[in-house]
Amino acid sequence: MTTDHGYPAVRMYIAGEWCQGGTGRTAPIVNPATEKVIGEVPLATPSDLDRALDAAAEGFRVWRSTPVAERSAILHTAAGLITERAPEIARVMAQEQGKPLREGTTEALRTADTLRWHIEDARRAYGRIIPSAPGTLLTVRREPVGPVAAFVPWNFPVGGPNRKLSSALSASCSIVIKAAEETPGTAAALVACYADAGLPAGVLNLVFGEPADISAQLISSPTIRLVAFTGSVPVGKLLAARAGEFMKPTLMELGGHAPVIVCGDADPVRAARKAAQAKFFNAGQVCTSPSRFFVHESLVEPFTAEFVKAARAVTVGDGLDAGTTMGPLANERRLKTVERLVADAVARGAEVLVGGQRLDRDGWFFAPTVLTGVPADAEMMHEEPFGPLAPIVPFTDLDATLAVANALPYGLAAYGFTESAATAEKLSAGLEAGILSINHCGGSVGEAPSGGVKESGYGREGGPEALDAYLVTKRVSHQLAG
């Protein structure tokens, strides 16, 4: 079922059934490229959440007792459906989040690959036998933590939710996930892949609603054994504190403000091209997006020229248009924040080389922007921009620049460019971040861990480490009879 705009009618998924919710209350879904309402998202009531919690409790009992081969087969079927439906999922994503179709399709395909990785990794979540005293069998077992409450943002509408779903379900946990109200259609399309694959009722429950109310009820419920969150640092702190009241473990992937250090021996043109590609991906609305560019003074001129060239080459438009390479910002809040950051930098003496303003058209479009002369006290050098802004700052001393790069409370991603193995090692050892890329600005991959340090969170998603939060370790000491 679709709306007049060709956008799917959105429902919640509770206890194996698609539903509107107890009161029928909804919120509008807006296309960021047109600012027009394209649908409505149902808002959960406390009774809806109670049903989801009861379903998750029963779903966990069923799912953890399902043979591993059967669980794996269901999840592999879900991965196949995600792959098959990737173009359809991308079209929904373009309508509600603005992401270009090519990026959305790639996101869905990578999501399926991540799921496949976690399925197989979970089959090898081995325990161990420890040598002990005669007559005693000492073992360590890895068991699912239990029902999970997960909260995800809008910037990766299929990849974000699935990082939680793929890990939890592969580890034999059930889950209640609250996806973003801005991008509910994509989340529902993802959940439909699991439902259609034969996942037992109650194992996966999808809800939408007022974030504060939903988080308070889910986290305080005795049913929930783990809280997993991706989002801003302030909200992450609130949820972690709430979970701490009930002694519940949390997995936190929070914001960042990723530095890029281009050393004096790097290729400035190659570095600028790679950095610009990463900067304008998803309109800069990525927690790991490069956002502070420190370039050695000997390279700053060619680097800046190439970066400006790359910014001018970006085709900004509706994500549904085939030629679009960067869509709109996802909501008006982001647009106003980006405008404020640019105005503040300019007021403090920065120069806008390209962009710097909202596009004169319907939709929340902001031009790819490159700035120079941005002072250290400018807001954009301290606040995560989450938009297509690139402040370029020259440096002379690498040690001093490492200190500046590490001075913020964030520590999610960092990037470095150098042709020297010794300098690369200095960057690797010196940058305080959970994710570091040298000579490229690569994103997350399913086979390797991602996560932050300092106020950017804790715990890891991706790789074998992705299952750690969803499994508990039990020691069993069995004294044999006789």
Q: What is the DSSP letter of 316?
A: B
Q: Which of 173, 193, 263, 287 is catalytic?
A: 287
Let me know the angle formed at the C-alpha of 246 by 240 and 249, rounded to the nearest 5 degrees: 50
Q: What is the DSSP letter of 218?
A: H
Active site (annotated) includes residue 419: no
In terms of DSSP H, where are the helices of 157-312? 159-170, 184-196, 211-220, 233-245, 268-280, 300-312
Q: Which of 58, 96, 181, 253 is catalytic?
A: 253
Residue 24, CA distances (Å) to 27, 34, 48, 176 in order:
10, 26, 11, 20
How many Cβ atoms are within 10 Å of 360's Cβ, its own excluded?
A: 6
Residues whose CB falls within 8 Å of the CB of residue 321, separated by 6 or more in sequence, listed in order: none
Instruction: Provide the CA 243 distance to its chain's centre, in angstroms.
Output: 21
Beta strands in 258-358 (DSSP E): 258-262, 290-296, 351-354
Residues 403, 430: Cα–Cα separation, whole Å: 9
Residues 41, 120: Cα–Cα separation, whole Å: 34
Residues 228, 173: Cα–Cα separation, whole Å: 12
Contact 193, 220 (CB under 8 A): no
How many Cβ atoms are within 10 Å of 399's Cβ, its own excluded?
A: 8
Expressed in angstroms, the distance from the first to the final Cα of the chain is: 66
Q: What does 136-178 look like in DSSP terms, one character per residue? A: EEEEEEEEE---EEEE--SSSTTHHHHHHHHHHHHTT--EEEE
**Rg of the chain, C-alpha, whole Å:** 23
Active site (annotated) includes residue 351: no
Question: Which tokens sit at 267?
Answer: 């290729």
Contact 23, 49 (CB under 8 A): no
Contact 173, 202 (CB under 8 A): no
Count Cβ atoms within 10 A of the Cβ of residue 439 and give its class: 0-12 exposed, 13-18 middle, 19 or more buried. middle
Residues 345, 372: Cα–Cα separation, whole Å: 10
Query: Which residues does the annotation mark as catalytic?
Result: 253, 287
